[in-house]
């Protein structure tokens, strides 16, 4: 396992040709880098005011994971940390807020701690009026690296407490409606501190594993 600075990660992403961005992100996230230290050091180093401003641009209330913006390269990519708090997840689940959904961006992600169950759905309807059928269920583990196109419906279930993933998002493919946030600054700072804590004492990272389901979108990529 080697250490890489956050700045080096950003620089490497800047040099990736746009037409092979998904495969390149999966290759990069598959490297045996100390991802926990990289994400932790970056999250902990952002001054509070800047952290709050960045987080409020992407934070979504009423769902899990909690998302933290680590870097924004406008029009190109965003680097985001996802942190699953199990008790918060369970509250959202009980309230029926954890449902199949699609995102407004393609993304590649690596689990750097924990695990979760992951359901993927075929959609024979439209994005607005989906008709979904499960086509794959998997359990994604620490070290798993996968890509998901923006318009694929999926749902993450039963995360282990303190599951953390590092996500590289592509540019926005649609404009989501963003409800006004009610979360306080203190709550966001406490959520950040919990995410930083979850990234302490993470076992050394090995080369990533790309689950079988993700290969359908990575034709020609040299990933393990
Ligand atoms: Fe999702």
Q: Residues 37-71: pLDDT tens digits?
A: 999 999 999 999 999 999 999 999 988 999 999 99
What pLDDT, on a 0 to 100 scale, did the predictor assign at position 52? Answer: 98
Residue 26 corresponds to which tokens in the numbers above? Answer: 């999966």
Indicate if the pLDDT at residue 75 is higher than 60.
Answer: yes
Centre of ligand 1 to C-alpha 160, Å, is 16
pLDDT over 60 (residue 223): no
From the CA of 103, how far away is ligand 1's center (Å)?
Answer: 6
- Token couple for 184: 């306080």
Give 125-179 pLDDT, tens digit per residue: 999 999 999 999 999 999 999 999 999 999 999 999 999 999 999 999 888 788 8
pLDDT for position 219: 72
Percent of the chain at pLDDT > 70 equals 98
Q: Read off the pLDDT of residues 168-202 as tens digits, 9 standing for 90 and up.
A: 999 998 887 888 899 999 999 999 999 999 999 89
| Contact between residue 28 and residue 12 where contact means Cβ atoms under 8 Å apart | yes
Task: Quickly state the pLDDT bin for 2 (edges 50, 70, 90).
Answer: confident
- Please report the pLDDT score of residue 220 as a whole number: 54
**Domains along the sequence of the chain with CATH:** 6-217 (2.60.120.10)
Q: What is the pTM of this model?
A: 0.94
- The alpha-carbon radius of gyration of the chain (Å, integer) is 17
Q: How far is the CA of 210 from the centre of ligand 1 (A)?
A: 18
pLDDT at 1: 78
Residue 102 CA, ligand 1 centroid: distance in Å? 6
- Percent residues over pLDDT 90 in the chain: 84
């Amino acid at each position: 396992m080697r250490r890489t600075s956050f700045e080096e990660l950003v620089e490497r992403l800047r040099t990736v040709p746009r037409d092979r961005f998904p495969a390149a992100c999966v290759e990069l996230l598959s490297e045996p880098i100390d991802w926990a230290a990289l994400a932790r050091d970056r999250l902990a180093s952002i001054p509070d005011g800047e952290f709050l401003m960045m987080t409020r641009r992407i934070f979504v209330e009423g769902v899990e994971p909690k998302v933290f913006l680590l870097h924004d390269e406008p029009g190109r990519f965003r680097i985001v940390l996802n942190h699953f708090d199990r008790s918060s997840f369970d509250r959202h689940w009980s309230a029926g807020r954890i449902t199949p959904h699609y995102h407004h961006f393609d993304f590649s992600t690596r689990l750097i701690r924990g695990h979760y169950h992951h359901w993927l759905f075929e959609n024979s309807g439209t994005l607005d009026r989906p008709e979904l059928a499960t086509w794959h269920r998997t359990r994604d583990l620490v070290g798993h690296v996968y890509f998901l196109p923006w318009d694929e419906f999926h749902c993450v279930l039963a995360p282990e407490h303190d599951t953390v993933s590092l996500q590289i998002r592509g540019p926005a493919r649609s404009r989501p409606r963003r409800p006004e946030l009610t979360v306080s600054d203190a709550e966001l700072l406490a959520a950040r501190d919990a995410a930083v804590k979850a990234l302490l004492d993470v076992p050394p990272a090995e080369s990533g594993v790309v689950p079988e389901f993700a290969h359908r979108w990575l034709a020609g990529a040299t990933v393990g």
